[in-house]
C-alpha cells in the first residue's frame, strides 16, 4: 500500500472516531426524559409502578429516564404544561386539560380497558343497598364523596351521571354532604369506614384493591356501574422530537405499546396499552363544558 493510500485510510479512521465522539457528546448533553402520572393510588404503589416504567423506558429509548412524583391531579397538569415533564399518565379529563395548554401535544396510548372505562358507585353496606342496573336515585339525601376534583372516573363523569339522574340539580343539592377524597383508594376507605355513605371510584382501582385484600365486602359494596367512556392515556408534549431527535415520539409510542410484561402492567390494572389519538377524548370536552369544569 502506498504512503498516500495509508494516509487516506488513517484520515478516514480519525474522521470516524471524531464523528463517533461527537455523537456520544451530543447524547450525553441531552437532558433526562422526565415523566409523571396522576396520583390515583397510594404513594408506595405509585413509586413501585413508575420506578419499573422508568427502567423499561430508559432501556427502550436509550436516554436517561426519570419519574417525577406529583402531589395531586392538577400538579400533574402543571408539570406537563410548564415542561417539567414531557410525558404523563393522565386521566381522560386531565389529559384534555394538559393538551389544551401545550399545543401539539398528543395522546399516544391508552390501556385496552380505557376505551370503555367505567365508574363504580359504592356504598357502605349498612345502607342495605344491592347492585342494580338503574342509577341509584334512592341515595339522594345521603353523604357522597368524589375522588380528586379533576378525576374523570372519580369526579367528571360521576357528576355528569348525577346531573342526568337529577335534572337541574347539582350534586350538592342531591346529597346531604359532598366530599373529595383526592384518590380512589382513599374513596374506598372513606366509604368502607362509614365516613361517607357513598362514593364514586375507578373500577380498576376497586378491582386492584379487592385483589390486594383492602376491600372488606362486609362493609362496602358496588351498587351501580356507569355506562362506558374513554379514560386514562399516556400523553406527550409536542416538542420532544426537537430535544431528543426526529422520530423520538414515534419511538416512545412503540415502547409504550410494547409494554407487555405483566409485572409492568399489573399496577396499572391494564392488560396492555393500545394506540389512541386526541379525538377519542372529544366527548369529555363536551361533558367538561356542560358541567362547568372546562371553559
CATH number of the domain residue 162 falls in = 3.40.190.10
Interval 177-235: pLDDT, tens: 999 999 999 999 999 999 999 999 999 999 999 999 999 999 999 999 999 999 999 99
Domain span at residue 246 reads 31-114+231-282
- Together in a domain, 176 and 265: no
Whether 59 is covered by a domain: the verdict is: yes
Write down the pLDDT at residue 206: 97
Q: Angle at the Cα of 70 (from 64 to 73), degrees rounded to 5?
A: 125
- Together in a domain, 264 and 167: no
pTM of the model: 0.79
**CB contact set of 129 (below 8 Å; sequence gap of 6+):** 123, 136, 138, 139, 221, 223
Write down the pLDDT at residue 170: 93
- Taking alpha carbons only, the member of 271, 276, 266 closest to residue 52 is 266
Write down the pLDDT at residue 29: 66
Contact 144, 153 (CB under 8 A): no
**Chain position carrying cell 380528586:** 148
Q: Tell which of 209, 225, 241 closes a domain.
A: 225
- Together in a domain, 210 and 135: yes
Positions of E strands within the chain: 33-37, 65-67, 87-90, 106-111, 119-124, 143-146, 177-180, 198-202, 220-225, 233-236, 273-275
Which residues of the chain are under the pLDDT cut of 70? 1-29
Q: Tell which of 203, 225, 247 closes a domain.
A: 225
Alpha-carbon gap, residue 106 to 256, rounded angstroms: 14
Alpha-carbon gap, residue 130 to 133, rounded angstroms: 10
| Residue 265, φ and ψ in degrees, nearest 5 | -80, -35
- Together in a domain, 122 and 267: no
Amino acid at each position: 500500500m502506498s504512503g498516500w493510500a495509508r494516509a487516506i485510510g488513517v484520515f478516514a479512521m480519525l474522521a470516524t472516531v471524531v464523528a463517533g465522539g461527537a455523537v456520544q457528546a451530543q447524547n450525553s448533553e441531552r437532558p433526562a426524559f422526565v415523566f409523571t402520572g396522576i396520583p390515583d393510588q397510594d404513594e408506595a404503589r405509585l413509586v413501585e409502578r413508575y420506578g419499573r416504567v422508568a427502567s423499561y423506558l430508559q432501556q427502550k429509548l436509550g436516554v436517561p429516564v426519570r419519574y417525577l412524583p406529583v402531589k395531586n391531579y392538577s400538579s400533574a397538569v402543571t408539570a406537563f404544561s410548564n415542561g417539567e415533564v414531557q410525558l404523563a399518565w393522565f386521566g381522560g379529563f386531565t389529559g384534555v386539560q394538559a393538551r389544551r395548554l401545550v399545543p401539539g401535544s398528543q395522546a399516544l396510548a391508552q390501556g385496552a380497558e380505557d376505551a370503555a372505562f367505567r365508574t363504580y358507585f359504592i356504598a357502605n353496606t349498612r345502607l342495605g343497598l344491592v347492585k342494580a342496573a338503574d342509577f341509584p336515585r334512592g341515595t339522594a339525601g345521603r353523604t357522597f364523596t368524589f375522588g380528586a376534583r379533576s378525576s374523570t372516573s372519580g369526579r367528571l363523569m360521576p357528576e355528569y351521571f348525577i346531573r342526568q339522574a337529577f335534572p337541574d340539580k347539582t350534586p350538592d343539592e342531591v346529597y346531604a354532604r359532598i366530599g373529595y377524597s383526592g384518590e380512589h383508594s382513599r374513596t374506598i376507605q372513606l366509604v368502607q369506614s362509614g365516613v361517607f355513605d357513598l362514593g364514586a371510584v375507578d373500577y380498576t382501582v376497586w378491582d386492584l384493591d379487592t385483589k390486594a385484600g383492602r376491600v372488606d365486602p362486609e362493609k362496602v359494596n358496588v351498587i351501580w356501574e356507569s355506562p362506558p367512556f374513554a379514560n386514562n392515556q399516556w400523553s406527550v408534549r409536542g416538542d420532544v422530537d426537537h430535544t431528543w431527535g426526529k422520530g423520538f415520539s414515534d419511538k416512545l409510542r412503540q415502547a409504550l405499546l410494547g409494554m407487555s410484561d405483566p409485572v409492568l402492567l399489573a399496577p396499572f390494572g391494564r392488560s396492555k396499552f393500545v394506540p389512541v389519538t386526541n379525538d377519542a377524548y372529544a366527548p369529555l370536552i363536551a361533558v367538561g363544558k356542560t358541567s362547568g369544569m372546562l371553559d
